[in-house]
Chains A and B, each alone.
Chain A
């Protein structure tokens, strides 16, 4: 199971003048088991802050995050993360990167390599097992990062603009592959992006956040069959709708 429940989550950061910058305010959100959710919002709306709180990398000021009804404190092996930046360990080979989490759990050499190889196969990089990250392209590196996060078999996979730094073509390809992986592994995915196109292509549900203080502006369920055609009329309709939401955040949040 992987049902995430976020209750009244608030977070603020100290500003130079002594006041506090409210980044998230009483945010409530439920992500169903095996659901693919994209969180969308203009930059600075607290998307990354929210994801870091779910990950357990930071501690919230108030509120709670529950996984299958149990409150989470700190990082948790049931929650995996793919970072926006380049986060692979450059001193480890691709295989040793993927095996890192298993090594931390104390798995033996043979076992962790066997599992790591499975996940490398899942992302299609078996022949690069012995390479170092510096020898891979950006898209390949993010594939390894996905394999590394999945190797611990988490129930929730958090992704923080994982394809943001890639060129459009690679990006489309990786979105496609990610959906394949999601269908095979059936994880709950919380995916952060600022690309409307990406969100409409990937998500079961898009959650649009308002700018500071961040809270849920609107939730859009995308009942479009997959694989989705980026050029179809329905796709364009959803995209236009979400774009409008993002472009007029003030008028919309005042209605709410």
Chain B
């Protein structure tokens, strides 16, 4: 019963959006097959779908997905490992803030892709190299948001904690500042996954691996198989969306459920 009612509710809520998607596909197909009529300039949805099936049958897509995920995981874990502790140090201790801030502010505006030469020199043609470029993109949002979150911890929480015996700095960070700052940290991680994912194509461009969604996007471009290029574009978009959904529906609900009902 519930499932039926839920589904009915969902259809009512989302049918306009679904309609737009179907319309976009129809317009795209008509434009490609009736106006452009050149599957190199603009492959239509049917071309893309058949390219998708053949890539899937060759088993390339799964291998690409795995390799890209590895690059992404390397970059993001590095960003978490470096960004969160530095953000905590700068947010908690104003000396650390004054000390590190100029360096961070100078490094931060450098586009991640500008690090590619050094990524190659330092790490060679390895997954770590691609991971490093993603790391550069992801580390600053995490660092900055952790910093802001820790700066914004209300004094009264720390004082209430002190009155209850939470007097050591380590405990104050662990039991008070970190949970208070967690919403900000999580939204930093969320931004970082978006930025990191966008760096992926470029990070795989210079040949660090034989597979990878970004790598093969360029590979099929060089073969002038534009239908396959569109397959990779759509996959990159959909996986990026999936990662964001994980945040929106899982992490927010389970880690930050205390915020529900709060106006702030």
Chain A interface residues (CB < 8 Å from chain B): 55-57, 74-75, 77, 79-81, 83, 85-92, 100-101, 103-105, 132-135, 148-149, 152
Contact = CB atoms under 8 A, between A and B. Distances in A.
A92 B262 CA distance: 14
Interface string B166-179: 11000100011001
B165 A105 contact: yes
Contacts of B198: none
Contacts of A134: 258-262
Contacts of B259: 90, 134
A57 B261 contact: no
Interface in B144-192: 156-157, 159-167, 171, 175-176, 179-180, 182
Chain A contact residues, majority secondary structure? loop
A165 to B, nearest CB: 13
Contacts of B180: 89-91
A83 B164 contact: no
Given A89-B179, A90-B259, A91-B180, A75 B160 contact: no
Given A91-B258, A132-B258, A149 B163 contact: yes
Nearest to B179: A91
A75 B166 CA distance: 10
Chain B contact residues, majority secondary structure? helix
B258 A55 contact: no
B156 A101 contact: no
Contact of B167 (A75, A83, A149): A75
Given A83-B156, A90-B258, A91-B179, 6 more contacts: A56-B162, A75-B162, A89-B179, A89-B180, A101-B164, A104-B164
Contacts of B166: 100, 104
Contacts of A85: 156
Contacts of B164: 100-101, 104, 148-149, 152
A135 B261 contact: yes
A57 B258 contact: no
A56 B179 CA distance: 25
B160 to A, nearest CB: 4
Given A85-B156, A135-B261, A57 B163 contact: yes
Given A57-B162, A81-B163, A83-B160, A104 B171 contact: yes
Given A134-B260, A134-B262, A101 B157 contact: no
The 10 closest A-B pairs by CB, nearest first: A101-B164, A104-B165, A87-B160, A91-B179, A81-B163, A134-B262, A132-B258, A134-B261, A91-B258, A87-B156
27 contacts: A75-B163, A75-B167, A77-B165, A79-B163, A81-B160, A83-B156, A85-B156, A87-B160, A89-B160, A89-B180, A91-B180, A92-B179, A92-B258, A100-B161, A100-B166, A101-B164, A101-B165, A104-B161, A104-B166, A105-B165, A132-B257, A132-B258, A134-B258, A134-B262, A149-B163, A152-B164, A152-B165
Given A87-B156, A90-B262, A134-B261, A104 B175 contact: yes
Contacts of B261: 132, 134-135
A133 B182 CA distance: 17
A177 B214 CA distance: 66
Nearest to B263: A134
Contacts of A152: 164-165
A19 B180 CA distance: 36
Contacts of A104: 161, 164-166, 171, 175
Contacts of A79: 163
Contacts of B159: 57, 83, 87
Contacts of B257: 132
A76 B5 CA distance: 57
B186 to A, nearest CB: 12
Contacts of B161: 100, 104
